[in-house]
Structure 1
């Protein structure tokens, strides 16, 4: 009986990823509660499960007394005790074993529920501990299947199933069972119930982690990633700077024969990536962020509620600076934190001329007002008809 029990215990531990001792402790708690339910007046319940020694015993501990027991639930006469344990002595404890066959139906059900509950708690804690090590990291997972109705991808990661929901997949990407893909761990969902990893392939920090994997200088901290903006599946901008004047940050990210940046681009399904040299000067940083467009001037706007600027570019560079559906401008704004208004040099000249004309008009209006005042003063000094000067 005990041999079968411990074999089953071992198999259950393997299925739940638990050591036999930890699983035995959970079962002990469940069985103890079942015994207590059938013996509510008993104060000392004992359950012993030892996978190493093969000991499995359970029952009620009673105090051995010389006379007739005053508390039949917690005391036992010495003569009766010695029929159970020949070595029993007065004042000692005697274990009255309980057989699972004597459990009531409700007690058995409660024991099962308690064991299930404890197993779920253990699994929850195990998953959270396992997931915490992966938070905000890039991990490799295998595509197991694609749900036809939702388009969600079911991935396997360290013997756990995780869901890459459709919204977090790269637009246009086609995933197939068996594919090995890299995902960014955003957080943990449902930590109080059944924890699950929240993963993404659209998060901008996936780009950063991929470059850390490919560029030793970034992983070692010699080259810093100062900012990222991304439209997943289309384009990303990555601002970098070097702490070592002898290390070229841009060259380090691109790699020999573009090997490093190509590896990242391939992982992101051909997404274009602009490597931008970071600058402490906001105007210079904004101009660089609008690459590949050429910039004539950047005017920072003072007093605005949010950081804002006006960028002047050659007329033939305007559409390039703005980008398809405004994408280049939005990425540059996301990278620098500035609201960017882009105009051509011709438009800037028109605005300048309009401003000058407005100033001239205001100046002329001012002169007219002065003339009218002088005329009014002069009229006041002229004597009315029939009046004479004194």
Structure 2
């Protein structure tokens, strides 16, 4: 029987991909369990298997009052042990083999979080999609699926491993189609420079099914990171887009300068200036008026992805908005609040610095008094002042002319004399 058992174990090990040592350990545990079910079995006993002769022996050792083994071990193998324990051992061994297979499958995928796998779609329902990876199945939950992407049965699909769980039924591999890491892995498959580490994807932001932005940098100054990812005539990036079912991908160069990085992240919009506020983590972006809608993007998508990729809160303003804010900044605003006067039922102004509350009419009069006369009134006063000055000049000229004749007649002669006197003397 032993040679046949050895051949069966070897065949099973080759079929299941399990080592003989694992099978021997499983068989020994199964036989030990079968022995302890027998009447009169020793409490402290174990089974040994000789791998060369396949001889199976049961050994035992006595226990003291405290439950510790004492004395020498001795052979307690029953005469009919093989016949009695065969059926029980077969059942337990089958169970242990299944457990060993589950452990092997788990070890195969344990620690592979972040890798990309290709599977065949087996089943799809409202909760999840099952992918056949060969020896195991992967679970693609509905939350990890791209909106509007309809997986079809018996088609291949690439997915990103996000978690490997160990369960009683075997390893459960959870994969995703929405994780940003899927973008990085797909580019590694299509761009040799990324796989070799020459080009790196430094940042990535994604809205699955719609648009993705990635920032790439090069460790070799002779290699253009953007060109390497795009490929000749866009061949490389096109392969990634096809795998993502047409999702748009923006590739921009990475920059250590925050302002420059934000400016490049907002591509294809043209940016005039970026102001960085490190205390608030805000990047104020100033763009020409005609570039405002492009910089913000459809439903704010471009600005939103840029903020996620750069890590800055992006505030986009047009040149007109900046000019208007600068104009309003020069205006001194009153500090206080409008409250309800319970006695009169009217709104009254209560200054922030304290003091009595004033009515709306009083507040308006005080504001006008502080600002000075209205522009129209100032113009009228200036015109009135201009009209009064000529009258004063006329009065002065009338007083200065002697005699009873008209002032104009007397004024002509000095004019002629002055011309004569202005000539140089001989």
TM-score (norm 1): 0.73
Distance 2:205 2:304 in 1: 9
Taking the aligned partners of 2:47 and 2:79, their CA distance within structure 1 comes to 9
5+ residue gaps in structure 2? 62-72, 336-366, 372-426
Change (3 A) 1:49 1:166: farther
Task: Say whether residues 1:123 and 2:101 are aligned partners.
Answer: yes
Match of residue 117 from structure 2:
139
How far did 1:202 drift? Answer: 0.9
- Structure 1 residues 45 and 211, CA, compared in 2 at 3 Å: closer, same or farther? closer
The residue aligned with 1:287 is: 263
CA pair 360-292 structure 1, distance change in 2 beyond 3 A: farther
TM-superposed CA distance for 1:12, in Å, is: 4.8
Q: Contact (CA 8 Å) 2:160, 2:179: kept in 1 or not? A: yes
Mapping 1:345-364, distance limit 5 Å: 345-358=319-332
| Distance in structure 1 (CA, Å) of the matches to 2:76 and 2:16 | 35
- Note the 1:258-297 alignment, pairs <5 A: 258-297=234-273
SS at match of 1:202: coil
Corresponding residue to 1:343 among 305, 317, 330? 317
- Offset of 1:123 from its aligned partner? 3.2
Q: Contact between 2:35 and 2:81, CA under 8 Å: does it hold in 1?
A: no
Rounded to whole Å, the distance in 2 between the matches of 1:293 and 1:21 is 65
Mark the CA change 1:245 to 1:232 in structure 2 (over 3 Å): closer, same or farther.
same
In structure 2, which of residues 181, 190, 194 is the aligned counterpart of residue 205 of structure 1?
Answer: 181
Kindly indicate whether the alpha-carbon contact (under 8 Å) linking 2:200 and 2:218 is maintained by their aligned counterparts in 1.
yes
Q: 1:283, 1:149 → 2: CA distance?
A: 44
Query: RMSD value over aligned CA atoms?
Result: 3.5
In the alignment, the residues of structure 2 paired with residue 94 and residue 301 of structure 1 have an alpha-carbon distance, to the nearest angstrom, of 82
Distance in 2 separating the partners of 1:227 and 1:149: 33
**Offset from partner CA, 1:139-182 (integer Å, 9 cap, x none):** 22222x223343x2211224211111222222222222332222
Contact 2:275 2:284 in 1 (8 A): yes
SS of equivalent residue, structure 1 residue 97: coil
- Residue 274 of structure 2 corresponds to 298
Deviations 1:294-353 (A, max 9, x none): 11221222432xx11221222222222112221111110110001111122211111111
Tell me the equivalent position of 2:147.
171
Q: Which has the higher contact order (CA 8 A, sep 6+)?
A: 1
* 2:299 matched residue in structure 1: 325
Against the structure 1 CA distance between its residues 116 and 277, is the aligned structure 2 distance closer, same or farther, given a 3 Å change threshold? same
Q: Equivalent of 2:79, from 88, 97, 104?
A: 97
Q: Distance between the aligned counterparts of 1:182 and 1:23, measured in 2?
A: 35
Deviations 1:71-117 (A, max 9, x none): xxxxxxxxxxxxxxxxxxxx9968543334435xxx976x5775466
**Aligned equivalents of 2:195, 2:113: Cα separation in 1:** 17
Give a deviation string over 1:235-258, Cα, whole Å, max 9, x none: 111101122221111111101111
In 1, Cα distance between equivalents of 2:245 and 2:74: 75
SS in 2 for 1:195: strand
Alignment match, 2:284: 310
Q: Which residue of 2 aligns with 1:376?
A: none
Q: For 2:186, what is the secondary structure of its paired residue?
A: helix
> Which of these two proteins has the greater Rg computed from alpha carbons?
2
Aligned residue in 2 for 1:66: none
Rate the CA distance shift 1:3–1:301 in 2: closer, same or farther, 3 A. Answer: same
Partner deviation per Cα, 1:113-149 (whole Å, 9 max, x = no partner) = 7546644542343123201363311222222x22334
The structural deviation recorded for 1:56 is: 5.2
SS at match of 2:269: coil
